[in-house]
Amino acid sequence: MAALRGVPPDGDVSGTVPGVPHPITCGAEVADACAAGRPLVTLESSVLAQGLPIPANREAAVVRGVPTIGLGGDDLERFLARDGVTKLSSRDLAPAMVRGRDGATTVAASLTLAAAAGLEVFATGGIGGVHREPAYDESADLLALATAPVITVCAGAKSILDLPGTLERLDSYGVTVLGYRTDEFPGFFTAHTGLRVPQRIDEAAEIAAIFRASRALGRRSALLVVQPPPADAALEAEVVEQAVAQALVEARTVGVRGATVTPFLLAAVERATAGRSLAANLALLEANAALAAEIAVALGATR
């Protein structure tokens, strides 16, 4: 798990990822895996510290993630309790490093750290994208995907977003989008959006091969792999759309803006769906991490 934690009182920054100089550090388990050449998957720490409500954030499986690749022990407990942990996008990493702050990384920041550490596979729930309101707002995740050569596994973009606009912007940025065993670009909570993916891939080994081919061409963008949420947890498209519409009305009424919009809308959708969206969120996070692990193993086999 990628995160940024405050420098410990003794200044110990041991556990540097092989080949990557300080300030990126990692936990012992991650360092051992790097040294042994075992497959690794980067996860997003913001989903624990901000994305999922307490205590559901503890149910999400983690690897472990100065900048730190891997969270564990007291650090992990502090992030789960949200004790002084701020949400960091890629633009916030350097200031937080200089000031010794604790910070949970978004998709954009996690991709930045993963790329800097030479890690090739990242899993999250849903990426950010083009917002429905206001029209000019879009997530830094999109630019990060255009500039970080990391396989990114997700359940599409969050349902609260302008999904056609997000898919179009990914195309404009030259991000390769692959549908894993699906012909549709999923909508996070729902499998069906009516938006077709450019390419359907049915095997993790082929995803690994496509990534290797992309890197051989010198491409520096991510490979975005989307898969629908598990069928037994996915919500009907009509239910999601109605919940999102209601959430947008609530946001306008109370004047929610900026970085607080996404967590506010997700919480409103959870209320509107009587908690079903939270169950879907946890299920798709687990499924995406599992697929990312399969891809990471396949990448190792191609070396």
CATH code for the domain of 241:
3.40.1790.10
Tokens 């800097």 belong to 116
The set of catalytic residues is 44, 158
In this structure, the answer to whether residues 107 and 200 fall within a common structural domain is no
Say how far apart CA 125 and CA 44 lie, in whole Å.
Answer: 9
Q: Please check whether residues 105 and 144 belong to one and the same domain.
A: no
- Among 45-54, 55-64, 272-281, the minimum mean pLDDT is found in 55-64
Condensed to tens digits (0 to 9), the pLDDT of residues 142-156 reads: 999 999 999 999 999
Considering the domain architecture, whether residues 173 and 300 belong to the same structural domain is answered as yes
Query: Could you tell me the residue range of the domain that residue 85 belongs to?
Result: 1-119
pLDDT of residue 294: 96
- Quote the percentage of the chain above a pLDDT of 70: 81
Q: Pick from 55, 66, 27: which is nearest to 43 by CA?
A: 27
Tokens of 256: 């929610």
CA distance 194 to 179: 13
Last residue of a domain, one of 96, 119, 142: 119
d(C-alpha 264, C-alpha 32), whole Å? 39
Task: Name the domain count of the chain.
Answer: 2
Among left, alpha and beta (phi > 0; psi -120 to 50; other), residue 288 is alpha
Q: Is residue 288 predicted with pLDDT exceeding 70? A: yes
pLDDT over threshold 80, residue 129: yes
The first and second tokens of residue 273, run together, are 């769906």
Do β-strands 121-123 and 42-43 pair in parallel, antiparallel, or remain unpaired? Answer: parallel
Q: Are 104 and 50 in contact (CB under 8 A)?
A: yes
Q: Are 25 and 67 in contact (CB under 8 A)?
A: yes
pTM score of the predicted model: 0.85
Helix, strand, coil % in the chain, rounded to nearest 5: 45, 15, 40
* 187, 57: one domain: no
Question: 223: closest CA among 61, 114, 300?
Answer: 114
The residue out of 98, 119, 140 marking a domain boundary is: 119
Token pair 């359907």: residue: 200
Are 84 and 156 part of one and the same domain? Answer: no
pLDDT-derived band at 4 (thresholds 50, 70, 90) equals: low
Q: How confident is residue 99, by pLDDT bands cut at 50, 70 and 90?
A: confident
Q: Residue 69 — φ and ψ, nearest 5°?
A: -100, 100
Rounded Cα distance between 269 and 290, Å, is: 26
At residue 303, the pLDDT reads: 61
pLDDT band at 22 (very low <50, low <70, confident <90, very high): very low
CA distance 29 to 33: 6
Asked if 67 and 182 sit in the same domain, the reply is no
Q: Average pLDDT, stretch 172-196?
A: 97
- Give the end of a domain, one of 68, 102, 119: 119
C-alpha 65 chain-centroid distance: 13
Q: Are residues 303 and 241 in the same domain?
A: yes
Same domain, 162 and 291: yes
The pLDDT value recorded for residue 10 is 44
Helix intervals (H) in 200-275: 204-216, 237-254, 261-272
Mean predicted lDDT score pLDDT of the chain: 83
Pair 8, 62 in one domain: yes
60 and 171 belong to one structural domain? no
Do residues 91 and 184 both lie within one domain? no
The answer to whether 227 touches 288, Cβ cutoff 8 Å, is yes
Say whether both 99 and 136 belong to one domain: no
Give the CA count within 13 Å in the CB-facing half-sphere of 250.
18
pLDDT at position 156: 97
Task: Answer with the residue of higher pLDDT: 265 or 45.
Answer: 265
